[in-house]
Structure formats: C-alpha cells, structure tokens
C-alpha cells in the first residue's frame, strides 16, 4: 500500500495595525510585518495600495522588489518612503506629511515565493486637525470607559435580580413550612370545641343538690307537731 504525505500549504500571514490616527501635517507610520515558512530572497515583493473614502479604484502608492522601492502615483511619490527591513520580514512605510486626502484604507500585500497566497494587511488611516488628536483620544477613552461601566452595571443588576429571586424562593419555602406547622395543633382545638359544645348543652342555671327532709318546729313548744318540710341545698361548685 502507498501512503500519501501532503506537505504544508504555501501561505503567508501578514500583520498590520487596524487603525492609525495622526494630525494633519505630521508623519504617519504604517506598520506591516509578515510570517513565511520560506526564506526571504530577492524575489520577495511588497505592494502598498490606497483606497480612499470615495468610491474610487485602489491606487498604487509603493512597490518594493529586489531590495528597491518604487513610488506609485504622483500624489504619494514624494511623501511615501519604505522604512521596513525585508530581511526581518518588515514591510512598513511612512507617509509624510499626512494630508486630509489620505483618510482611507491602506493595504499591504507581501509575496515570498512560493508563499504567495495570503490575506492582505489592512490599516485605516485617520488624519485629524492639529489640536484635535487629544480630544479625539479622550473621546475614544470615554467611549470605552462608558461601555465598561455599562457592562458592569448590567452585571450588577443581573446579580441583584438573581439574589431577589432566590430570596423570594427561600421566603416562600419558609412560609409553606410555617403553614404546615400551624395546621398541626388544629385537632386539639376541635376537641376543645367539642367539649365546649357538651358544656353548652347542660342547664345554664345553678345546679341543684340532693333534697333533704328536716323537722322544723313552728310552735316552739315541746309538744308541738313536728312537720317534715323539704329543704333544698344548692350545690355550689367551682367551674
């Protein structure tokens, strides 16, 4: 049987700053580096292009090959310079002086044969008025801080809501236990009520005791007739 061994794909990885902010009239450095499994040679080439915010076709601003840099269009010809070191896999450029017309996207494409396929590096350049860079930076920091504070507030609110729901659940559990315990002595109350019922059926008046007959002398003489009269003694009991 034959075993096929596939070699690694020939690809190059390019890195670039996602955004660069500079003041008008100053120098803008656009960094671009790359990784390649192949050794850098004279055949290694770098192409820088620019896409403005207008719907125009990309403009070539610099081409580097065989150790030499070749400026592109006239508007960049005297302002762009290759400042990288191709042997260190650095293909950075600088733009000086930066102009408002430079607002847009810069693309860095590197080819190191046979590593020729890869995604271009992309950098968004923002050119601002002098004196506005600090304000722009502060606005950016404030936006980031505001987003973080909002996330923290949402997290705290979520934790508080969970705590309230949990406490409510625990309270309902305690209430059900108290209700079950309060229902236990109810049969005793029923027994007491039955006793009260039996008491209520008995006569409400004073209870009479036994009738005792005694002899009473009405005449006061010794020979008088003794008459037997009934005397009723009330039976006084403590409730």
d(Cα 231, Cα 223) in Å, to the nearest integer? 23
Q: What is the CATH number of domain 13-130?
A: 2.60.40.10
Cα angle for residues 107, 109, 113 (degrees, 5° grid): 180
Rounded distance between C-alpha atoms, residue 127 and residue 102, angstroms: 7
Question: What residue segments make up the domains of the chain, in order of their start?
Answer: 13-130, 132-169
**What's residue 63's pLDDT?**
97
Average pLDDT of 69-95? 95
Would you state the pLDDT for residue 172? 66
In the structure encoding, which two tokens stand for residue 201, read together?
């059926």
DSSP letters along 84-131, please? S-GGGTB--EEESS--GGG-EEEEEEEEBTTB---PPEEEEEEEE-TT
**pLDDT for the residue 169:** 72
Specify the pTM: 0.54
In the structure, what pLDDT confidence band is assigned to residue 57 with cuts at 50, 70 and 90?
confident
**Given this model, what pLDDT does residue 192 score?**
47
* β-strand partners of 153: none
Higher per-residue pLDDT: 229 or 74: 74
Is residue 237 helix, strand or coil? coil
- Phi (first) and psi of residue 159, to 5 degrees: -65, -40
Mean pLDDT, residues 100-116? 94
Taking Cα atoms as reference points, which of 24, 53, 28 lies closest to residue 136? 24
> What is the reported pLDDT for 41?
93
The DSSP line for 161-209 is HHHHHHHHHHHHHHHHHHHHHHTTTHHHHHHHHHHHHHHHHS-SSPPEE
């Amino acid at each position: 049987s034959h075993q096929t061994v596939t070699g690694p794909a020939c690809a190059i990885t390019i890195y670039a700053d996602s955004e660069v902010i500079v003041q008008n009239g100053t120098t803008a450095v656009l960094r671009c580096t790359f990784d390649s499994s192949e050794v850098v040679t004279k055949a290694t080439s770098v192409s820088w292009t620019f896409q403005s915010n207008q719907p125009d076709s990309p403009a070539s601003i610099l081409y580097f090959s065989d150790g030499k840099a070749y400026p592109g269009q006239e508007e960049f010809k005297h302002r762009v310079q290759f400042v990288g070191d191709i042997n260190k896999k650095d293909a950075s450029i600088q733009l000086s002086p930066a102009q408002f017309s430079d607002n847009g996207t810069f693309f860095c494409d590197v080819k190191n044969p046979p590593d020729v396929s890869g995604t271009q590096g992309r950098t968004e350049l923002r050119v601002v008025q002098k004196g506005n860079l600090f304000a722009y930076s502060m606005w950016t920091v404030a936006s980031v801080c505001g987003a973080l504070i909002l996330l923290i507030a949402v997290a705290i609110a979520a934790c508080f809501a969970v705590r309230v729901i949990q406490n409510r659940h625990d309270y309902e559990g305690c209430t059900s236990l108290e209700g079950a315990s309060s229902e236990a002595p109810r049969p005793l109350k029923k027994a007491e009520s039955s006793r009260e019922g039996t008491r209520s059926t008995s006569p409400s008046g004073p209870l009479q005791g036994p009738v005792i007959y005694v002899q009473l002398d009405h005449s006061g003489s010794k020979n008088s007739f003794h008459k037997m009269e009934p005397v009723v003694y009330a039976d006084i009991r403590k409730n």
